[in-house]
A and B are shown apart, each in its own frame.
Chain A
Amino acid sequence: MEPILFFNELLGSYGLILKGILMTVKISVQAIIYGTAAGLIIGIILEYGYPPLRYLFRFYVDFIRGIPVLVQILAAYYILSVIGIQLSTLGAGILALSIFCSSHVAEITRGALQAIPKGQIEAAKSISLTFRKTVIYVLLPQALRQMLPTWVNTATEIVKASTLLSIIGVTELLMTIQQLISRTFLSLEFYFLVGFIYFLINFTIERIGKGIEAKVTIA
């Protein structure tokens, strides 16, 4: 342990670390937004879609959930360039994380939709709402409330999974720290620091989630 050396290094490189944090946040936010949008649609299809479409997405969700995120990231990174889709390392990473996120959100959406009593749909039908209106005005408001805690969990999972992008060479927070370590050899201090930063990010997300939950819950 070299506390003085470490603080000196920290003073010199906090700009880099901040940049890394911003990158991690940027990656996570994009992946969560794309993944959630796709996941909501897939979840609705899983519950109410026509059988062929439903089976197709059932297969998609089960398949993606059976593969480790790291394999998805590596596969996206290597395969896309070979089959001629030009995406940056960052793009491939965000794509892989979004796919991962979409499968999880799809599953929790389906679960939340399933938990809504059948009477709700019957009531919507009886006042002749179209299916689209039923989804938007009746089902989603209830489902979204139901899935909020699990969704917040998924969001923190995505932040944690974003560290894996360092393996394909995206300079997010972990990669930045690793570069600092290879320069300064202060591995213990910096690894603890990065663990603590991730903890803070996720803890903040959890708190915000709890706050929203308290606001939207119908007592």
Chain B
Amino acid sequence: MVYHFNFSAVWASFDLLLYGLGLGFILALVANTIGVGLGLILAFLSISPNRIYRLIGTSYVTFIRNTPILVIILTVYFALPQIGIGLGKIESFIVSLAVYAAAYLAEVFRAGLLSVPKGLHEAGMSVGLSRRQIKFNIILPLMFRNVLPSLSNNLISLFKDTSLAAAIAVPELTFYARKINVETFRVVETWMVASVLYVLACYLIASVLRRLEKTFALPV
């Protein structure tokens, strides 16, 4: 069977696809930012000497990491209004993505915190820094520079997860691709263009992030 390519229908709505791509990236960025904050708290909880804090941290991470993100998205969007927490499409998607990201980032940060040598903590104490100062001026900056590669991998995978926003009709790239697909029936072209856009976007994000990693990497 011969398939005749005709991209005109896809080009006609190309701006929509680009708009969707941009929205996806913004969603990922916002969710990532919230997730970093939440993940940091969870990481500190899961290495705390207090058993109950540790239990809270680790059980959050284990539970969320083993639950499909689609289930989280649907729960936040469709089920939470039942107990009075009604969020808009975009807000609820950002919340779900941030909750999901936090679990992964917590693992990254936990490993990062443990990788900071203990001697630095002791050095901080010996020059009379408070525990807060040690945390914010010594441990955290070092940890962040250590975990940058994992952070950027996480951002890229979050960006790909924004495609799931189509399930609750957030107008991002996958949503528009589906729309063009069912409206014009240029099936192969639509999905080819959408896939290439995703790959290019991921590649672009990855190369920018690698640059940043190099700039901020710890000198060896």
Contact = CB atoms under 8 A, between A and B. Distances in A.
Is chain B a partner of chain A in the same complex? yes
Interface of A: 1, 62-63, 66-72, 74-75, 78-79, 82-84, 156, 159-164, 166-167, 174, 178, 181, 187-188, 191-192, 194-195, 198-199, 202-203, 206
Given A66-B202, A68-B163, A71-B191, A78 B68 contact: no
A185 to B, nearest CB: 9
B126 interface: no
Nearest to A75: B191
Nearest to A200: B66
Contacts of A84: 1
Contacts of A206: 66
B13 interface: no
Interface stretch (B37-45, B72-80, B131-139, B209-217): B72-80
B133 to A, nearest CB: 37
Contacts of A67: 160, 195, 198-199
Nearest to B82: A188
Contacts of A164: 70, 164
14 contacts: A1-B83, A67-B160, A72-B195, A74-B181, A75-B194, A156-B66, A160-B69, A164-B70, A164-B164, A166-B70, A174-B74, A187-B78, A191-B74, A203-B62
**A interface secondary structure, majority:** helix
Interface of B: 1, 3, 62-63, 66-72, 74-75, 78-80, 82-83, 160-164, 166-167, 174, 177-178, 181, 187-188, 191, 194-195, 198-199, 202-203
B78 A79 contact: no
B80 to A, nearest CB: 8
B79 A66 contact: no
A161 B70 CA distance: 8
B178 A74 contact: yes
A35 B46 CA distance: 34
Contact of A192 (B70, B75, B178): B75
Contacts of B203: 66
Given A74-B191, A187-B82, A82 B3 contact: yes
A188 B191 CA distance: 34
Nearest to A63: B199
B163 A192 contact: no
Nearest to A190: B79
Nearest to B67: A195
Contacts of A195: 67-68, 71-72, 75
Nearest to B62: A203
Given A68-B160, A75-B191, A199 B74 contact: no
A68 B198 contact: yes
A78 B190 CA distance: 10
Q: Which 3 A-B pairs have the closest CB atoms?
A: A66-B199, A68-B163, A202-B66
A33 B84 CA distance: 43
B66 A188 contact: no
